[in-house]
Chains A and B, each alone.
Chain A
Amino acid sequence: MITCSPVAVRVGRRAIADKFKGRKSMKAKYVYRVGVAAFLVLALAAVLPLYAGKFNTVVDIGAPMPAFSDLPATDGMTVSSKDLKQSVVVLVFLANHCPWVKGSEQDLIKLVDHFKGQDVRFVGVSVNHREDDRLEAMKVHSAKVGYNFTYVFDESQELGRKLGATRTPEYFIFNKDRKLVYMGLLHNSPSSMRSDGTINYTKGDPTEFHVKDAVEGLLAGKTVSVDETRAQGCNVEYVQK
């Protein structure tokens, strides 16, 4: 990505250099330098989105969990951030239609079962506005697949937007102070469902279980060792304001 910058600068320098041709005063040189610097910043901004985390344009580790209220869930209830009393909260962004979600949801279900009765709460969040990702479709999908966790629809897209959640599935883990301690993949082999219904673990059998390890660590009072991984999946589509 950085490879874009030198050329952009060259283009800018040429244009600006022409403008100041034959004027060698200190002031002109200063203006020239400021111009080049400004161009560089603008050119980079045009090409590259700025990132807060390594792979997230909005939040970095340590960010507070955004408050949310009355998000409708597939079980007919609503969920607000203040209702989450557990010491660890895992928000996972999902989309019914997405083969990367379909390819990993059985692993997610097993993980939720693994932590059953422990002080952690899993909440699935759907953000897309396409019909097959909305609440009615979420109800059908979660019942069919057997989701054993709360699954809410973030229709305003505010929760997803505030967390910079742009892929499904993408995991965000918050500690008891509701600070972000992990974001990214479930484990180190993102998996998708193939057209024939089989699951493709893209990096072979998973060997590092990021979400499981982070939650177990937090429950044991430890710090999280891997805090950000590169989530892989379908793009979350936000309404552009």
Chain B
Amino acid sequence: MARILALSLVAATALLSGGCAQQPPGTVPAGDSIALVPIAFAAWQEKLAGYAGDIVVVDMWATWCVPCIERFPHMVKLHGRYSPRGVRFISMSLDDREDTIALDRAREFLVQQKAVFDNYLMDEGITDAFEKLDLLSIPAVLIYGRDRSLRFKLTGDDPNNQFTGGDVEEAIEQLLQEEG
């Protein structure tokens, strides 16, 4: 009897720890809680590779970037519209990771915006982050195809062709239409 009990305990433990309820580190449970998860550049690259199969829209933002804050609600709206069609939205904060006040503000903002997707904080020195991500400034939106190729890099780098919220929508539509 004791043997059976011990065996079932082992089995139950294995089941709990291995199979079901464990969240891999760095993921955000959808819907019920919104977190800002620090992620280093290398881990971010791996994470991105793991999203294969989805169209991935990454909104690069920060609390210090006023236009980013202004555009964020549109991103949440697009998430609502396109996530049922296999489009995954992610926010990547380029806030100063040592500015605790800014990080608190970022978390509050995400909750207030009901940003129920994965929200990351680039866990690098901020200038290193920009260099590694190959960005000159934000707001910027990177859109990856289902095969993980970078298909759209929407930035403000060209004064005569800075992207708008409408460009994000068009880019997603284009990728969906390519699938027929």
Contact = CB atoms under 8 A, between A and B. Distances in A.
Say whether A and B bind each other. yes
- Of B127, B130, B161, B178, which is in contact with the most chain A CB atoms at under 10 Å from its CB? B127
Contacts of B52: none
A230 B131 contact: yes
A3 interface: yes
Interface string B85-112: 0000000000010110110010000000
A203 B162 CA distance: 28
B152 interface: yes
A178 to B, nearest CB: 21
Contacts of A240: 160-162, 164
Interface of A: 1, 3-4, 6-8, 11, 46-49, 55, 57-58, 97-100, 130, 157, 160-161, 164-167, 189-190, 192, 194-196, 200, 202-203, 230-238, 240-241
B38 interface: no
B46 to A, nearest CB: 16
A224 B91 CA distance: 40
Contacts of B128: 202
Contact of A48 (B127, B153, B159): B153
Contacts of B99: 194-196, 200
Contacts of B126: 192, 200, 202
B72 to A, nearest CB: 15
Contacts of B147: 7
Interface of B: 64-67, 96, 98-99, 101-102, 105, 125-128, 130-131, 134, 136-139, 145, 147, 149-153, 155-162, 164, 178
Given A195-B101, A237-B67, A4 B151 contact: yes
B159 A233 contact: no
Given A161-B159, A195-B101, A200-B99, 14 more contacts: A8-B149, A11-B178, A57-B159, A58-B158, A58-B160, A165-B159, A200-B96, A230-B131, A230-B136, A235-B137, A235-B138, A238-B162, A240-B160, A240-B161
Contacts of A8: 149, 151
Contacts of B161: 49, 240
Contacts of A202: 125-128
A231 B149 CA distance: 27
B160 A235 contact: no
A166 B137 contact: yes
Contacts of A4: 149-151, 153
Contact of B157 (A46, A57, A233): A57
A114 B88 CA distance: 52
A98 B3 CA distance: 68
B173 to A, nearest CB: 14
**The 3 residue pairs across chains A and B that have the minimum distance between CB atoms:** A7-B149, A195-B101, A202-B127
A100 B137 CA distance: 11
Given A166-B156, A195-B101, A236-B159, A1 B150 contact: yes
B157 A49 contact: yes
B61 to A, nearest CB: 11
B54 to A, nearest CB: 16
A194 B96 contact: yes
Nearest to A196: B101
Nearest to A133: B66
A192 B125 contact: no
A194 B153 contact: no
A235 B130 CA distance: 13
A181 B68 CA distance: 32
B151 A161 contact: no
